[in-house]
């Protein structure tokens, strides 16, 4: 067996390893599909609610736990699940060994609770792979130059898996989760949503950043940088998932690949601000310093040197944003602030849309026909987003899914569509 | 502050850190008594039932968890409590940092689940002490030459504490536990039992090995080798404990320091074996190989080249011992095996007893006067042990406690005895 080349990195999320019973099921699946000619690295999250329980314990002990100690505390969750999965594999006569993030060579910077991976030193992993062991790695954690344990923040275990795959030059990274792939849109909103066979990194990033929470964008970006194909599939059922990769997609006919949506949008319009250099900076710098995540920014055409500046934030961040922007608006002599916190957004995503005319107009026409008013429009190279009323988001998703014929994938799609229907029928509710 | 010399190492057991509330109480106590001129290292066990819960989880996943993975799993328990205590201390403005066993430089051999400490490399601990931090160390664990985590078996956290104290040349090691010191005998049996102000390592070892489960003998031995004074005291109440040390005791008058006892003794007598070289070895070698712990061994005087060989084991090990010894007894042509599994033992312990006549005879006379038959007698330099019927152990403890006047410590004892009575009255039930 060579430990390079053919290596596969798999990741199982918190729901997938949420109980002793589920850990045994994951082990059985690994044993069943094991290819002894390939190295296998399995990254695991903490079991179900373990992380929340540990955090609660910390807050029972003090009001403001230090980030360093919090990392020491919560990182035990992934260590526990990694050792249990290794035990379960050995019980099935699959040689296996668990490694903590530090042991697996995940080096990070010093920012506790949101560390960035600075390097992966996979010597220990390679040694265990060469011995023929399945290497079970505790996700979400690494070690900083002080040799203290760190956690790597949101999307942690996905990022661990892709980073390890990159360092091992693995053939593929497989993310097993409680959804069975990337759908054209959320099947809970549009029952005719179809699972995609594949999608490009960029499309996935746009889907992920605009409300499709299958994978954290950070892990997708890392996969793109290192060219690691990522398979997203169900950890509960053995059905084909969705492959995220860099090449052109298998389905070239329909350039819209999916509909993303988000119910949680608040809009702030600063009216009548002078249209001169530096005004936008003065408004957005304090927001950035306060770590308010601003999503869409639109400035309308200036009339007589006066413009309206509009941006969106999540609903929870609206009060904080207003506290920062209101004094500035007064200072700038604007005509006041208008807000709307009952908004959502809907996006169509697909490589090459911008080079092909007609997608934007078809999107706007579809929303108009459904009687949905568009509050704001923004676009990227592979995405068109409309901000609309929150209570019309579902209607918009359904109308657009139909308008762009996403329930079928074109000429070759019949077999795939049948498979998708079957998969959906079997899908475990979550 | 110098980090050497004045350093104190404290250890808090699982009951002492059994909940968030108790961890906060331990932190408050540390904060209250903190002497900023001294370095302080605090070793913690896992919270209450954590270790048992983790072990149960392992057995839900597989029948025979590997020792290595079990060590990875259970060592998270101490890491959790160490981070929580560090958080609680910082909350009280006491600078504190948690370190895992590996970070604290506890090096061990490779025997998972029962590793021995091979070295302590305290550089990281010293660095944090120099910074003025209270260093909270996860007990019961270390790291082997493979850089894998190990656990150091029974008496683990006590042993971690004493080993760290030795490496740091600490002034003292303080073991805080759910008893408030070493008593002349078990106060649940003899209400007049008196807490000892101090006791020598050797006396403590005899007490510990013969049923007084205050501290694991292994940690006491380590303290003796490195000359670390060990204070055993209550983690719940701030009352004086018992100091274990190497010098002569403060109380030279009464050479019997305490009465140890054990309810769990089974006796095996192999009757009529030939009294010739090699017979004892043939009987005990298979027991040692099967890891049956043999306690007392007595061979009576030979009559016509035939002797009776008697040994004791714990009740639970009797069936295994018999399976091993019965075929041998037949082979040796003995007159059969007699067993008694309703036995216990009682010991008097005190330095210098053997050099002073009369202790043994007073013990035997006391038991005779109480109508208690002696089945076996064994002695060490500082101990005399009688094996007696299990249901007479309590009577024997009380009679001996009185016969050797252990309720008083001699001329200087009045103040101390009053203090002990008060302490006992306040003692939290456990």
Give yes or no for residue A237 having a pLDDT over 80: yes
Q: How many CB atoms lie within 10 A of CB A381?
A: 11
Contact at CB, B73 and A64, closer than 8 angstroms = no
Q: Does B23 touch chain A (CB under 8 A)?
A: yes
Q: Which residue of A has its CA nearest to B102?
A: A147
Q: How far is B72 from chain A (nearest CA, A)?
A: 6
Token look-up 């009053």 returns B418
Q: Please write the tens of the pLDDT for every residue from A149-174.
A: 999 987 789 999 999 999 999 999 99
Measured CA to CA, the distance from residue B128 to residue B133 in angstroms comes to 6
Plot region of A225 (φ>0 → left; ψ -120 to 50 → alpha; else → beta) = alpha
**Phi and psi (nearest 5°) for A315?**
-55, -40
| Partner residue facing A62 (CB), from B54, B72, B91 | B91
Please tell me which of A108-122, A372-386, B3-17, B415-429 the model is most confident about, judged by mean pLDDT.
A108-122
Burial of residue A361 (CB within 10 Å: 0-12, 13-18, 19+) is exposed
Q: Average pLDDT of chain A?
A: 87
Instruction: Decide if B136 touches A, using CB distance below 8 A.
Output: no
Chain-centroid distance of CA A135 in Å reads 25
Question: What's the distance, CA A69 to chain centroid?
Answer: 27
- Predicted TM-score (pTM) of this structure: 0.80
Q: Which of B60, B68, B72 sits opposite A79 (nearest CB)?
A: B72
Task: Dig out the tokens for A71 from the structure.
Answer: 């990392």
pLDDT at B159: 94
Q: Which residues of A touch B21 (CB under 8 A)?
A: 60
Q: Is B28 on the interface with A (CB under 8 A)?
A: no
Nearest to B211 by CA among B415, B56, B349: B349
| Higher pLDDT pick, A153 / A34 | A34
What's the distance, CA B338 to chain centroid? 31
* Chain B residues with beta carbon closer than 8 angstroms to that of A124: 147
Q: Provide mean pLDDT across the span A38-56.
A: 94
A113–chain B Cβ distance below 8 A for any pair: no
pLDDT at B276: 75
Sheet holding B383-389: strands in order across?
B297-299, B306-313, B258-274, B336-349, B383-389, B376-380
Instruction: Please judge whether A72 and B82 are an interchain contact, meaning their C-beta atoms are less than 8 angstroms apart.
Output: yes
Query: Chain B residue with minimal CA distance to A84?
Result: B58
Q: What are phi and psi of A154, to 5 degrees?
A: -60, 140
Q: What gap in Å lies between CA B346 and CA B323, rounded to an integer?
A: 28
B88 touches chain A (CB under 8 A): yes
Q: Do A61 and B88 touch (CB under 8 A)?
A: yes
CATH of domain B259-403: 3.30.2130.10
The answer to whether A86 faces chain B, any CB pair under 8 Å, is yes
Residues of B in contact with A90 (CB under 8 A): 62, 66, 69
**pLDDT recorded at residue A419:** 44
State the pLDDT confidence band at A252, using cuts at 50, 70 and 90: low
As a whole number of angstroms, the distance between CA A311 and CA A294 comes to 7
Distance, in angstroms, between B98 CA and closest chain A CA? 7
pLDDT bracket for residue A288 (50, 70, 90): confident
CB contact under 8 A, B60 and A103: no
Average pLDDT over residues A343-351: 90
Give yes or no for A146 touching B (CB within 8 A). no
Q: In this predicted model, what pLDDT tens digit does every residue of B140-169 receive, in sequence order?
A: 999 999 999 999 987 789 999 999 999 999
Report d(CA B189, CA B193) in Å as an integer: 8
Looking at residues A94-117, what average pLDDT do you find?
95
Contacts of A97 (CB under 8 A, 6+ apart): A86, A128, A133, A134, A135, A136, B68, B69
B296 in helix, strand or coil?
A: coil
**pLDDT given at position A97:** 98
Q: Which of A83, A84, A91 sits opposite B63 (nearest CB)?
A: A91
SS (H, E, C) B264-290: EEEEEEEEEEECCCCHHHHHHHHHHHC
- Interface membership of A91 toward B (CB under 8 Å): yes
Record: contact A68-B23, CB cut-off 8 A: no
Two structure tokens written together for B364: 């035997």
B42 neighbors B81 (Cβ within 8 angstroms): no
Structure tokens at A222: 């890392």
Nearest-Cα distance to chain A for B134, in Å, is 13
Per the CB < 8 A criterion, the answer to whether B226 and B277 are in contact is no
Q: In this complex, do B63 and A98 lie within 8 Å of one another by their Cβ atoms?
A: no
**Nearest chain B Cα distance for residue A126, angstroms:** 14
Cα distance from A121 to chain B (closest Cα, Å)?
15
Lowest mean pLDDT among A134-138, A238-242, B3-7, B141-145: B3-7
Domain B8-177 has CATH 3.40.1160.10: yes
B112 touches chain A (CB under 8 A): no
Residue A334 and residue A271: Cα distance in Å, rounded?
6
Average pLDDT for A405-418: 56
B147 at interface of A, judged by CB pairs closer than 8 A:
yes
Sign of CA dihedral A49, A52, A54, A56: negative
By the CB < 8 Å criterion, does B361 face chain A?
no
| Cα B75-A60-B52 angle, rounded to 5 deg | 30
Give the pLDDT band of residue A250 (cuts 50, 70, 90).
low
pLDDT at res. B249: 57
Q: What residues contact B85, with CB distance under 8 A and at least 6 apart?
A: B12, B17, B23, B26, B27, B42, B44, B96, B98, B136
A104 lies within 8 A of chain B by CB: no
CA of B22: which chain A residue's CA is closest? A61
Q: Residue A90: which of B57, B62, B82 has the nearest Cβ?
A: B62
The ranges of chain B with pLDDT < 50 are 1-5, 253, 411-430
Six-digit token string for B75? 């060592």
Q: Is A145 on the interface with B (CB under 8 A)?
A: no
> Looking at beta carbons, which residues of chain A come within 8 Å of B84?
57-58, 61, 69, 73
Q: Is the interface score ipTM higher than 0.90?
A: no
Q: In chain A, which residues fall in CATH 3.30.2130.10?
A: 259-403
Instruction: Please state, in angstroms and rounded to a whole number, the distance separating the CA atoms of residues A165 and B324.
Output: 54
Q: Please judge whether A60 and B20 are an interchain contact, meaning their C-beta atoms are less than 8 angstroms apart.
A: yes
Angle in degrees, 0-180, between the axes of helices B393-403 and B359-369, rounded to the nearest 10:
130
Q: Is A24 on the interface with B (CB under 8 A)?
A: yes
For B23, which residue in chain A has the nearest alpha carbon? A61
Q: Give the pLDDT score at B59.
A: 96
Looking at residue A355, its pLDDT comes to 65
Residues of chain A contacting B124 with CB distance shorter than 8 Å: 147
φ, ψ of residue A106 in degrees (nearest 5): -80, 100
* Interface contact flag, A66 B88, Cβ < 8 Å: no
Quote the pLDDT of residue A248. Answer: 66
* Cβ of residue A402 closer than 8 Å to a chain B Cβ: no
* Min distance A118 CA to chain B CA atoms (Å): 21
Residue A43 parent element (H or E): strand A40-44
CB-based burial label for A320 (10 Å; 0-12, 13-18, 19+): middle
Number of residues in chain A: 430
Q: CA B402, CA B396: separation in Å to the nearest integer?
A: 10
Q: Is B61 close to A84, i.e. CB distance below 8 A?
A: yes
Name the residue of chain A whose CA is nearest to B25's CA: A61
Residue ranges matching CATH 3.40.1160.10 in chain B = 8-177
Q: In sequence order, which residues have a C-beta less than 8 Å from that of residue A213 and are 6 or more positions away?
A: none
Task: Say yes or no: A68 contacts chain B, CB-CB below 8 A.
Answer: yes
Q: Which residues of B touch A62 (CB under 8 A)?
A: 87-88, 90-91
Q: What would the pLDDT profile of A4-17 be if each residue is shown by its tens digit?
A: 448 999 999 999 99
pLDDT for B318-362, tens place per residue?
A: 999 999 999 888 888 777 899 999 999 999 998 777 666 788 888
Contact state of A98 with B69 under an 8 Å Cβ cutoff: yes
The per-residue pLDDT for B72 is 97
DSSP A295: -
Relative to beta strand B106-108, strand B242-245 is unpaired
């Amino acid at each position: 067996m060579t430990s390079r080349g053919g290596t596969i990195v798999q990741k199982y999320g918190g729901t997938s390893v949420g109980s002793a019973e589920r850990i045994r099921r994951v082990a059985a699946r690994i044993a069943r599909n094991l290819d002894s000619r390939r190295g296998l690295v399995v990254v695991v999250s903490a079991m179900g609610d373990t992380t929340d329980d540990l955090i609660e314990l910390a807050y029972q002990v003090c009001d403001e736990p230090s980030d360093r100690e919090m990392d020491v505390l919560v990182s035990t969750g992934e260590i526990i699940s990694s050792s249990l999965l290794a035990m379960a594999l050995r019980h099935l006569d699959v040689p296996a060994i668990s490694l903590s993030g530090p042991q697996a060579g995940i080096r990070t910077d010093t920012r506790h609770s949101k560390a960035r991976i600075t390097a992966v030193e996979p010597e220990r992993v390679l040694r265990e792979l060469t011995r023929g062991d399945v290497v079970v790695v505790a996700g979400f954690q690494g070690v900083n130059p002080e040799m203290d344990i760190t956690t790597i923040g949101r999307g942690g275990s996905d990022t661990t898996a892709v980073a390890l795959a990159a360092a091992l030059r693995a053939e593929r990274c497989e993310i097993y989760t409680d959804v069975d792939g990337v759908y054209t849109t959320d099947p809970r909103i549009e029952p005719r949503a179809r699972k995609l066979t594949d999608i490009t990194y960029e499309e996935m990033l746009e889907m992920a950043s605009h409300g499709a929470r299958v994978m954290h964008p950070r892990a997708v970006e890392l996969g793109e940088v290192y060219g690691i194909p990522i398979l997203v599939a169900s950890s509960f059922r053995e059905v084909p998932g969705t492959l995220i990769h860099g090449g052109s997609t298998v389905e070239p006919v329909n350039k819209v690949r999916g509909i993303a949506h988000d119910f949680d949008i608040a809009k702030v319009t600063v009216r009548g601000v002078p249209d001169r250099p530096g005004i936008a900076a003065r408004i957005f710098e304090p927001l950035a310093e306060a770590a308010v995540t601003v999503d869409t920014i639109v400035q309308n055409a200036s009339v007589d040197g006066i413009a309206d500046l509009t941006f969106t934030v999540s609903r929870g961040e609206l009060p904080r944003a207003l506290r920062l922007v209101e004094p500035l608006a007064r200072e700038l002599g604007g005509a006041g602030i208008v807000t709307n916190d009952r908004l959502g957004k809907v996006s169509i995503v697909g490589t090459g849309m911008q080079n092909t005319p007609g997608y934007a107009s078809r999107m706007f026409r579809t929303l108009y026909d459904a009687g949905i008013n568009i509050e704001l429009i923004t676009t990227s190279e592979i995405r068109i987003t409309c901000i609309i009323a929150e209570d019309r988001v579902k209607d918009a998703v359904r109308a657009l899914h139909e308008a762009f014929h996403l329930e079928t994938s074109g000429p070759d799609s019949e077999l795939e569509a049948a498979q998708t229907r079957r998969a959906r029928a079997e899908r475990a509710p979550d």
